[in-house]
Amino acid sequence: MSEQVPVLECRNLSVSYFVRAGEIPAVVDFTMKLMPGEAQGIVGESGCGKSTVALAIMNYMGRNGAIVGGQILFEGRDMRTMSDEELRQIRGSKIAMVYQEPMASLNPSMKIGDQLAEVPLFHEGVSEDEAKRRAREMLSNVRLPDPGRIMESYPHQISGGQQQRVVIAMALLSNPKLLLLDEPTTALDVTVEAGIVELIKEISSEFGTSMIYISHNLGLILETCDRITVMYSGEAVEVGDIHTVFNNMRHPYTRGLFNSIPVPGADKNARPLVAIRGQLPLPHERPKGCYFGPRCDYFEAGRCDAGHLPMEEVAPGSNHFVRCVRFAEIDWEALKPKPKEQEPIEPGDVVLRVENLTKHYEVEHTGLLFVSEKRTVKANEKISFRAREAETVAIVGESGCGKSTFAKVLMGLEEASAGRVQLGNLELSKLPVEARDGATISRLQMVFQNPFDTLNPSHTVGAQIARVIKKFGIEKDPERIRERVYELLDTVKLPRDFADRKPRQLSGGQKQRVGIARAFAGDPKMVIADEPVSALDVSVQAAVTGLLMDIQRENRTTLLFISHDLSVVRYLSDRIVVMYLGQIMEKGLTEEIFSPPYHPYTEALLSAVPIADTRVEKRKVVLTGELPSPTDPPKGCPFSTRCPYVIEGLCETTPPPVRSFSDSHTIACHLEEARLTAMEPVIKIDDDPAQAAE
């Protein structure tokens, strides 16, 4: 190995952005060595500089960015000394990139075939026909059905997953030495993501392409990479073989990251997540010495803040490096998360009854010239379930499954087409929000995905919470209102002086806390949380979910947790409702959902979720095909276009029967009960003795 020339080597690379306020270092002293055929993962939270590394390798820094130090060697040659023309010849032919947002990365007004053909046309000078032929061939290599049609399509005419396959095809057309993947699946649904990840793995083994895979998702990195670099605030803090880092991490930040993500085995009562305290420093607020210092439990004044820390090898020859002066002294076994056990909550009476809730939209669909046809979007079709007091019910599903529409109907932002929704003994399905009185509104509150959009930027945090309190008529006296605002800030663990701050002075996680404080201001019976943590970084997610759980426990609130993320859902919910294209596929207690019998869709969903745990073994179920459009769902079972078990002639035409497996567990599927029961578990945890002894 050591004799080989690395495909790419970054030596002490530093990148800065120059803005009016001065120089902002985005990446500092970054070193990395990528050998032929190797796949390296770079993980870190937003703002850690991982995408900047990719763009620096491509030498595409935008107008105000620049590489300010170090070297980038591609096959032994420093890219910083290359001319524009040399760079152009390498880009797209020897180094190719796949981007986070496939739709935005493709030219909207150029046919896909033309966009693809450009690569061989300009790098190899082949004829137009030959270029087109290769493009079509590559489209079928990335498993796109009907390449001929896709060649003639514009990007918006195909789905997100297909677009990403096109971008990958474009990157592979010149058979690159190095493939840079910058969050290639973040914008995609999880079952579509699984297909792309599968494809990427096949490519690397088939073509021997070296890869740099950038992601915030540790599970994905585990599935795709050989080595991993963990970045924090512009620096690499830990580098090593994937299994070494996952099992024997030697940097407190890496450890913190792993403790804050829900893996199977984590449980909100028995083994709660541990969040990293504090927040990521802004680039100009980085402390002297170790950037992680202020958040680290092992901080030692005089050593950790003495000056810039170098990377050190954990053991000679281990090829495992960390940037921490104390890694050798810390007792890593003792640092394993200390379970802060809590009693499970006893659910109370049924609070919410949803019966055959149906919501249809009419959309007018206008063709190019004449036809304007009316189509019905069946956003929710006969949804029925119940939620008890103090219980957490999760609604899971991918985009278009109707979970957000359901929340809107509950909140009174949309009117149901049919069916009933009862909160206590109040019928809500036909009661728009304007017709609800303050008491009703305060009893049913919502926490949104994007705290940024729901806070008024020109009012202080305190004023916004106070407004809600006044509106619900909880307190009248200004003095008492202030008291209550402070109490709520205490509840969401924000300092009291935050009451005088404006939303823009808060970080994402802090804003979400304010959002939660507002929702709980009126002592709600039930809170709907629509993807409340998916816009936040993992270390912050843990803190926010923990908070939500605590408040719920205290107030015995019913929590309706809407999410696409099965790991989070598994961690915190008592019961789960799985939706697909507006219909409930399966519902049951969390354990019932996560173990057989499965609905075929649930099975695929479980298999698709990447898990950041080396002990976990997953049975592979990769779906082909794309999510059908909700305007045009299949007639029978909505899942029939992608289902691996589909019974020809039956599933496509006849809606499936609902089969009960227990009081709480139902599956809507044509498969025989015996067949469903005989399914193998998807997730197996291979407990090695050391872990089990714990």
The encoded tokens of residue 154 equal: 């514009």
Q: Is 661 in the site for ligand SF4 (CB under 6 A)?
A: no
Q: What would you report as the CA-atom Rg of the chain, rounded to the nearest whole angstrom? A: 26
Considering only residues 643, 659, 666, 682, which one is a binding residue for ligand SF4 as defined by CB under 6 A? 643
User: Hey, which residues between 357 and 376 contact ligand SF4 (CB under 6 A)?
Assistant: none
Considering only residues 252, 256, 272, 628, which one is a binding residue for ligand SF4 as defined by CB under 6 A? 252
Q: Is 109 in the site for another protein (CB under 8 A)?
A: yes
Q: Is 646 in the site for ligand SF4 (CB under 6 A)?
A: yes
The CA distance from 511 to 284, in Å, is: 21
Q: Is 170 in the site for another protein (CB under 8 A)?
A: yes
- Cβ proximity to another protein: between 84 and 663 the closer is 84
Q: At what angle do helices 112-123 and 160-172 cross, to 10 degrees?
A: 10
3-state secondary structure of 267: strand
* x/- track of binding to ligand SF4 for residues 592-611 (CB under 6 A): --------x-----------
Q: Is 157 in the site for another protein (CB under 8 A)?
A: yes
CB of 136 to another protein, least distance (A): 18
CB of 551 to ligand SF4, least distance (A): 31
Stretch of 125-133, 323-331, 472-480, 618-626 lying at the interface with ligand SF4 (CB under 6 A): 323-331
Residue in the structure block whose two tokens are 């020339």: 5
* x/- track of binding to ligand SF4 for residues 53-72 (CB under 6 A): --------------------
128: amino acid identity, one letter: E
- Cβ proximity to another protein: between 343 and 364 the closer is 364
The CA distance from 29 to 691, in Å, is: 36
Considering only residues 60, 78, 202, 285, which one is a binding residue for another protein as defined by CB under 8 A? 60
Q: State the number of binding residues for another protein (CB under 8 A).
A: 34
> From another protein, ligand SF4, none, which one binds at residue 154 (CB under 5 to 8 Å depending on kind)?
another protein
Considering only residues 656, 659, 679, 682, which one is a binding residue for ligand SF4 as defined by CB under 6 A? 656
Alpha helices in 213-297 (DSSP H): 218-224, 242-247, 252-259
- Asked if 651 and 601 count as a contact pair (C-beta separation under 8 A), the reply is no
- Asked if 246 and 551 count as a contact pair (C-beta separation under 8 A), the reply is no
Considering only residues 93, 217, 259, 552, which one is a binding residue for another protein as defined by CB under 8 A? 93
Q: Is 231 in the site for ligand SF4 (CB under 6 A)?
A: no
Q: Is the peptide bond before 155 cis (omega within 30 degrees of 0)?
A: no
Q: Which residues contact 633 (CB under 8 A, 6 or more apart)?
A: 378, 581, 582
> From another protein, ligand SF4, none, which one binds at residue 198 (CB under 5 to 8 Å depending on kind)?
none
The CA distance from 271 to 570, in Å, is: 13
3-state secondary structure of 408: helix
Considering only residues 25, 47, 70, 92, which one is a binding residue for another protein as defined by CB under 8 A? 92
Considering only residues 97, 245, 275, 304, which one is a binding residue for ligand SF4 as defined by CB under 6 A? 304
Q: Is 651 in the site for ligand SF4 (CB under 6 A)?
A: yes
Residue 125: CB atoms within 10 Å: 9
The CA distance from 220 to 216, in Å, is: 9
Q: Is 659 in the site for ligand SF4 (CB under 6 A)?
A: no
Q: What is the dihedral of CA 180, 183, 189, 191, to 10 degrees?
A: 50
Considering only residues 12, 77, 107, 340, which one is a binding residue for another protein as defined by CB under 8 A? 107
- Cβ proximity to ligand SF4: between 327 and 498 the closer is 327
Alpha helices in 637-679 (DSSP H): 673-677
- Cβ proximity to ligand SF4: between 184 and 293 the closer is 293
CB of 651 to ligand SF4, least distance (A): 3
| 365: phi then psi, degrees, rounded to nearest 5 | -115, 115
Residue 19 bridge partners (DSSP):
22
The CA distance from 237 to 240, in Å, is: 10
Alpha helices in 213-288 (DSSP H): 218-224, 242-247, 252-259
Q: Is 372 in the site for another protein (CB under 8 A)?
A: yes
Considering only residues 56, 167, 199, 637, which one is a binding residue for ligand SF4 as defined by CB under 6 A? 637
Residue in the structure block whose two tokens are 């189509």: 375
Q: Is 324 in the site for ligand SF4 (CB under 6 A)?
A: yes
CB of 187 to another protein, least distance (A): 12
Angular region, 288: left φ>0, alpha ψ -120 to 50, beta rest: beta
> From another protein, ligand SF4, none, which one binds at residue 109 (CB under 5 to 8 Å depending on kind)?
another protein
Alpha helices in 26-181 (DSSP H): 50-57, 84-90, 102-105, 112-123, 128-141, 147-151, 160-172
What does the binding site for another protein look like in residue numbers (CB under 8 A)?
A: 58, 60, 63, 88-93, 96-97, 99, 101, 104-110, 118-119, 122-123, 154, 156-157, 167, 170, 366, 368-370, 372
What does the binding site for ligand SF4 look like in residue numbers (CB under 6 A)?
A: 252, 290, 292-293, 296, 298-299, 304, 309, 324-326, 600, 637, 639-640, 643, 645-647, 651, 656, 669-671
